[in-house]
Amino acid sequence: MSQTLSRRRAIQLAGAGVAGAAAWNAIPLRTAAQTDQVQIEIALPGFFADPEHPAMALIEAFNATDVGVQATGANYGASYEEVMQRTQANISAQIGPAIAVTGWKYGAFADAALAIADLQEVGGPEVDPLLARYYPWVVDFLRFNDKIIGLPFSTSNLVIFYNKNLFAQAGLDPEQPPRTWEEVAAFARQLQAETRVEAPLIGEMNEFVAQYFVQYNGGRILDDQGQAVFDSAAGIGGIEVWSGLTRDGLHVVIEGSQRNPTFLGGNAAMNFGSITGIRSYGANAAFDLGTGPFPAIGEQPRQPAGGGNFLGVYAREAEQREGAWAFLQFVNSPAGAEIWNQSGYLSLIPEDNLEPIPGQEPAYAQMEAGMNIETMWPGPRGLEAMNIFNEWIARIVSGDVELATGMHDAKDAVAALLP
């Protein structure tokens, strides 16, 4: 069973990485006696910048390796969107960052609007051995023509969490999560009737969840040319499953910051979202926690997508790029990977055989069955297009606009911003 990684253990692993890991071979940019170490800034989303998050332990452990580079993790905003916005502003002002945690969905945007560095130019001949440690399919997500736009860092997929105690109280099998959205609806009604739980079902509300509902019904958000096609019959049908649960009073739309407290407080029985929630739920739930795969829509095959992020290099100066490369080498090492495995994301380095966090099994099964990547929003206005899509989805699922009309209007609004 996985254990919480202490700072002392993280620093011990850093030492092990320097001493023995073949993947960790950074050449010091400064000797230990020199005090003018290279300083690099790493742009983090706010949830990574928490002092207790493994991202900060990873940075601390890297700094303890004393290779002449000191990294500082900076909170660039509450979301990947805000990280990109501030990164863009700071690049324009020529004040960094050297590295930014970049959502997979912003790969095309970072390439088009932020001149993200080609990893092959940053790491030279050392790049291929590092990338060889990852699953080939995840590296392929970062290939843009002849360019590699970053180092794989994190991936996740959507699952359904549930309260086993409430399931048992309702007469449901606590070891059997719902397999389809039809079962979700039936379970929700039984939970309402037998437990009086305030919210039988809650979940994340964003474009990634929308992609699952559309994709699980055979549709797509964007086609191969990057054009919006989510208002197809399949796309509309997928979102109808989601919005129908809301309309029937089974899915309760809840403000994002209240979702975790609501679930942990026992006021919601089922909760769909990223597997990364396991880190908080596993540590803080006062009930027996269950996890299951994201439910299917009828007999349609499951088609999970991978979310998460990669580490993009945005530094322009040679010394900053060298410092960034030293950090990426540590992240890739077995020592770095073991620290990061505590984050709740799924391991992308199969040869390290890192132990899953209990409850991650359905997410690993979905990954092993095959995932595509979350939608990459292309062009210099891709970030804006995604935000517009998010706004429309929230209105549609909440019942503020009629489904088909909303999907078509959303498509027109998004299409106007795409290249």
pLDDT band at 9 (very low <50, low <70, confident <90, very high): very low
pLDDT band at 116 (very low <50, low <70, confident <90, very high): very high
Residue range 21-47: mean pLDDT, rounded: 69
1 falls within a domain: no
Beta bridge partners of residue 268, listed in sequence order: 199
Query: Are 397 and 243 spatial neighbours (Cβ–Cβ below 8 Å)?
Result: yes
CATH number at residue 263: 3.40.190.10
With a cut of 60, say whether residue 17 has pLDDT above it: no
Task: Give the percent of the chain with pLDDT over 70.
Answer: 92
395 falls within a domain: yes
Relative to beta strand 305-313, strand 99-103 is antiparallel
Nearest by Cα to 40 from 132, 122, 138:
122
| Residue bearing tokens 């079902």 | 201
Task: Give the percent of the chain with pLDDT over 90.
Answer: 90
127 falls within a domain: yes
Do residues 301 and 198 both lie within one domain? yes
Count each helix (H run) and each strand (E run) in the chain, helices first. Answer: 19, 12
Do residues 162 and 291 both lie within one domain? yes
How many CA atoms, within 13 angstroms, populate the side-chain half-sphere of residue 112?
Answer: 15
pLDDT at 28: 55
129 falls within a domain: yes
pLDDT at 290: 99
pLDDT band at 23 (very low <50, low <70, confident <90, very high): very low
pLDDT band at 29 (very low <50, low <70, confident <90, very high): low
pLDDT at 6: 45
With a cut of 80, say whether residue 16 has pLDDT above it: no
211 falls within a domain: yes
Do residues 40 and 114 both lie within one domain? yes
Query: Are 410 and 229 spatial neighbours (Cβ–Cβ below 8 Å)?
Result: no
Cα 39 from Cα 237, distance rounded (Å)? 51
Do residues 234 and 295 both lie within one domain? yes
Cα 133 from Cα 335, distance rounded (Å)? 13
Residue type, 349: I
266-300 pLDDT per residue, tens? 999 999 999 999 999 999 999 999 999 999 999 99
Number of domains in the chain: 2
Beta bridge partners of residue 388, listed in sequence order: none
At residue 119, the 3 state secondary structure works out as helix
| Token representation of residue 220 | 């797509």
**Whole-number average pLDDT of the chain:** 93
With a cut of 80, say whether residue 109 has pLDDT above it: yes
Do residues 301 and 312 both lie within one domain? no
Do residues 39 and 116 both lie within one domain? yes
Residue range 141-170: mean pLDDT, rounded: 97
Do residues 22 and 121 both lie within one domain? yes
Residue range 65-90: mean pLDDT, rounded: 96
Which structural domain range is residue 83 located in?
7-156+308-366
299-302 long-range Cβ contacts below 8 angstroms, 24+ apart:
300/216, 300/217, 300/218, 302/216, 302/366, 302/369
With a cut of 80, say whether residue 67 has pLDDT above it: yes
Query: Are 344 and 278 spatial neighbours (Cβ–Cβ below 8 Å)?
Result: yes
Per DSSP, the residues of 285-327 read -SS-EEEEEPPB-TTPPP--EEEEEEEEE---SHHHHHHHHHH
Cα separations in angstroms, 39 against 18, 56, 322, 364: 20, 16, 11, 36
pLDDT at 319: 97
pLDDT at 417: 98
With a cut of 50, say whether residue 231 has pLDDT above it: yes
Do residues 26 and 139 both lie within one domain? yes
pLDDT band at 26 (very low <50, low <70, confident <90, very high): low
How many CA atoms, within 13 angstroms, populate the side-chain half-sphere of residue 104?
Answer: 23
Do residues 117 and 44 both lie within one domain? yes
2 falls within a domain: no
| Residue bearing tokens 């290939």 | 143
Do residues 298 and 320 both lie within one domain? no
pLDDT band at 22 (very low <50, low <70, confident <90, very high): very low
Query: Are 87 and 76 spatial neighbours (Cβ–Cβ below 8 Å)?
Result: yes
1 burial (CB, 10 Å; 0-12 / 13-18 / 19+) is exposed
170 falls within a domain: yes
| Token representation of residue 326 | 């030293």
Residue range 232-245: mean pLDDT, rounded: 99
Do residues 331 and 352 both lie within one domain? yes
With a cut of 60, say whether residue 31 has pLDDT above it: no
Do residues 224 and 257 both lie within one domain? yes
27 falls within a domain: yes
pLDDT at 326: 98
pTM of the entire structure? 0.90
pLDDT at 36: 79
In our burial notation (b when 16+ CB lie closer than 10 A, e otherwise), range 328-362 reads: bbbbbbbbbbbbbbbbbbbbbbeeeebebbebbeb
pLDDT at 53: 97
